[in-house]
Structure 1
């Protein structure tokens, strides 16, 4: 990626978010949460499409080529998640920690299964 520093080992979510910003080239970047939201939906659909083709073409077996293709799409999903978080003034590490805290609370209360955001 142009403008992105070379890999120096483990990457934190905060570093990823900062480095992703270097490639944010879309209308009104920095003040436009709509663009990364739409991109996220599109890329998540591409992940689902790759998985669907594994079912259709490979009998549900994920070979190395399928995993490599899905990996690329997941990278795009991650980029859009990072950009959407940034557009909303959210730190991706805080988002990740809050999600783990929420899941741990649900697990402790025995409500991992079920539906609804407020369980």
Structure 2
């Protein structure tokens, strides 16, 4: 993760984009990229969505959009000083408490 963060930071610095990489702008760009990822699945049946990576063209587009999402999320976390791995693990621990296996198994209900 550190290597990716360093590469994304260096990419932005080489282009002098730090001035544009405010948390608001990065969050908005991230939302836009998530929207582009969602668009790749729009109108697909559940079976088609599950098999999207079997189609070379669609799979390539999905992979590229996931890459964009990861880059913007990495950059946002870097600018805010958030350790992405720590944040994810903390959230996973919180979710484990909120959704104990014995109560949440097989249920999509929110708590």
Please give the TM-score of this superposition, normalised by the length of structure 1: 0.68
SS in 2 for 1:73: helix
1:34 pairs with 2:24: yes
More helix by share: 2
| Separation (CA, whole Å) in 2 of partners of 1:19 and 1:68 | 22
Q: Name the residue aligned to 2:36.
A: 46
Unaligned runs of 5+ in 1: 1-12
| Separation (CA, whole Å) in 2 of partners of 1:15 and 1:101 | 25
Cα RMSD of the aligned pairs, angstroms, is: 2.5
1:86 pairs with 2:78: yes
Unaligned runs of 5+ in 2: none
The runs of at least 4 aligned residues of structure 1 exceeding 4 Å deviation read none
How many residues were matched structurally?
A: 100
